[in-house]
Amino acid sequence: MKAYEKNIRKVEPYVPGEQPRQKVIKLNTNENPYPPSPKAAGILRELDTDRLRLYPDPASTVLTDALAKYYHVKPEQVFVGVGSDDVLAMCFLTFFNSEKPVLFPDITYSFYKVWAELYRIPYECPAVDENFRIRREDYYKENGGIIFPNPNAPTGIYEKLEFVEDILKHNQDVIVIVDEAYIDFAGASATQLIDKY
């Protein structure tokens, strides 16, 4: 082994789900079988391509302000990244820097393990119950942070705000991230709890 090789991170790469060859409906891929709306297509046709050569606003002010207004939060409570995996990577790198393990469910978004292993963050994956639900009690123990999706991916199970708040109440000394990538298909958002916690 060469000297530099001992410093190379060994990471299990993300493997996308099976891509079926027959006609089936696959629900866990961020692909859209429909064309863009006529309004979006019209905007693309009228786009000034010279603007694509310039750096965008680094603060993404227009987007940040629009998202804050839509989700009823303050602009300083909005973080814009290059896709959700970029945002998650920044969250893992920034908030999970403890000797204690980060907790996330054993059946969940598979990239959590990728980020934890890439950044050498210790983690534990409490098992979901026989109905594929997160057991809140598993998140009461000492930890270096918590992340879980709501609704959970890939189960699609949504937990009500009372459930989320219970986990928050038991973990006020660590960062708890509620990954709401699919909240628009579920129920109330945990953004309602930001100012309280």
Rounded to an integer, what distance in angstroms lies between the CA atom of residue 101 and that of residue 143? Answer: 5
The DSSP bridge partners found for residue 124 are 103
Backbone angles phi, psi at 145, to 5 degrees: 140, 165
Range of the domain at 122: 57-193
Q: Is residue 36 part of a domain?
A: no
Q: Which amino acid is at 174?
A: V
Q: Is residue 18 part of a domain?
A: no
Q: Which amino acid is at 157?
A: I
Q: Is residue 113 part of a domain?
A: yes
pLDDT in tens, the chain (197 residues): 676 677 666 666 666 666 667 777 665 566 777 888 999 889 888 888 888 888 888 889 999 999 999 999 999 999 998 888 899 999 999 999 999 999 999 999 999 999 999 999 999 999 999 999 999 999 999 999 999 999 998 899 999 999 999 999 999 999 999 999 999 899 999 999 998 98
Q: Is residue 119 part of a domain?
A: yes
Backbone angles phi, psi at 117, to 5 degrees: -70, -40
Rounded to an integer, what distance in angstroms lies between the CA atom of residue 163 and that of residue 13? Answer: 32
Q: Is residue 154 part of a domain?
A: yes
Rounded to an integer, what distance in angstroms lies between the CA atom of residue 95 and that of residue 29? Answer: 28
Query: What pLDDT is attached to residue 12?
Result: 67
Query: What pLDDT is attached to residue 55?
Result: 87
Rounded to an integer, what distance in angstroms lies between the CA atom of residue 176 and that of residue 149? Answer: 11
The DSSP bridge partners found for residue 102 are 123, 145
Place of tokens 């708890």: 176
Write out 19-39 in H/E/C secondary structure: CCCCCCCCCCCCCCCCCCCHH
Query: What pLDDT is attached to residue 35?
Result: 83
Query: What pLDDT is attached to residue 27?
Result: 58
**Any idea what the CATH number is for the domain that residue 72 is in?**
3.40.640.10
Q: Is residue 69 part of a domain?
A: yes
Q: Is residue 10 part of a domain?
A: no
The DSSP bridge partners found for residue 145 are 102
